[in-house]
Amino acid sequence: MNFSGSDSGDSLKRLTLVLPVILIVLIALFILDLLAGSVNIPLEAFVKMLTGGDVKTTWENIFWDWRLPKAITAVFAGGALALAGLLMQTFFRNPLADPYILGISSGASLGVALVMLSAGACGVGAIFATIGFIGDLSISVAAIIGSFAVLALILIISSKIKSNITILILGIMVSYISSAIVTILLQFSDESSMHSYTAWTFGSFSGVTWGQVPIMVALLLVGFILSICTVKSLNALLLGEQYAESLGMNYKTTRILIITNTALMAGVVTAFCGPIGFLGIAVPHLCRAMFVSADHRILVPGCIIVGGIIALCTDIISHLPGTDIVLPINAITALFGAPVVIWVIVRGTKFGRGVTT
């Protein structure tokens, strides 16, 4: 596959044309996410808040303390999950791979479950509902430790085994083991702890505080930069491992870099937002269809922006503007993502080109 030919040139021209449009859509949805919710904020009040004018204190508190960190989280988390999904689909050459296929999410869930449910078994589970920032931070730290413990295991395995398919299967087995331990913990937990853990698994962009936003954004930016730096290797992987090595690529180093980067982005998002599914599997396919290209010079920035757009859409829908009802993010992403997966399976390789074996 020649990415320097006329096809690649056409795709780059298409990116140049589409990029301003999707950036405008991203900004428009970001503003809409700030204004819409159980309490709708008028556009005039939004302008006054940005220019230092006087508005209702309630609107100011909702805007600065609640919706702005939520919208920033949605943009970065959506972009990171989409990008991590793209890396895994290219690495495994499988259009149905997602950021959690190596068991990263299960590791994070196990870390959170050990904190929430083992505490509940000791009779102090309700503490996590009342200790605010410290409680949120302890859950995030537990999720990060769990995800990186799985990452360490996968890296050790990958240093011994060359086959990507074997690594994929072992990652799925790690997921099953983690899920089994969580199920056993749930069996012995009190009702309050089970409710807290179940609520965490729904996923949410709303739980990230201003104190956590800089940490999350900085870590995800590292993932974005690493992905941009590896576009040449990702394009080479589309041609197969042996061909990529014949081009001079150090496959072992590239494999470790891709796995580590995916675990970083998926683990950080899971730690701060919970396990959010389907964005990672669906958005890369949308980008391939939108840009009609498998070139990662186009797909990497495309996935970051489109992932942010889809995440903002799901956040707006989940909060049902004008009502007090909040739906789980995972329910909304599944309603959107499942039809995309069905579409990919039914249409075969046409829109998954470049990632199928």
The per-residue pLDDT string of the chain (357 residues; one tens digit each, 9 = 90 and over) reads 555 555 566 667 777 888 899 999 999 999 999 998 888 888 888 888 888 878 888 888 899 998 999 999 999 999 999 999 999 999 888 887 887 777 877 888 888 888 777 665 555 444 444 444 445 567 777 887 888 888 788 778 777 777 777 877 888 888 888 888 888 888 888 887 788 788 888 888 988 888 889 989 999 999 999 999 999 989 888 887 777 778 778 888 888 899 889 888 988 898 889 888 888 888 998 888 888 888 899 999 999 999 999 999 999 998 877 778 888 888 888 887 677 667 766 765 554 444 444
- The whole-angstrom separation of Cα 77 and Cα 100 is 14
Dist CA 290 CA 302 (whole Å):
9
Tokens for 144, please give them: 């990060």
Cα–Cα distance measured from residue 69 to residue 153, given in angstroms and rounded to the nearest whole number: 33
Residue 352: predicted pLDDT: 46
* DSSP for residue 42: P
Q: Quick one: which of 278, 259, 297 has its CA closest to 344?
A: 278
What pLDDT shows up at residue 9? Answer: 66
pLDDT at 174: 84
Contact, 189 vs 262, CB < 8 A? no
- Give pTM, 2 decimals: 0.85
What pLDDT does residue 129 have?
A: 46
**What pLDDT is recorded for position 11?**
67
Task: Answer for the pair 151, 259: CB distance below 8 angstroms, yes or no.
Answer: yes
State residue 146's pLDDT score.
83
Cβ-based neighbours of 350, under 8 Å, separated by 6 or more: none
Q: For residues 90, 92, 97 and 99, what is the CA-based torsion angle, rounded to 10 degrees?
A: -80
User: pLDDT at position 147, please?
Assistant: 80
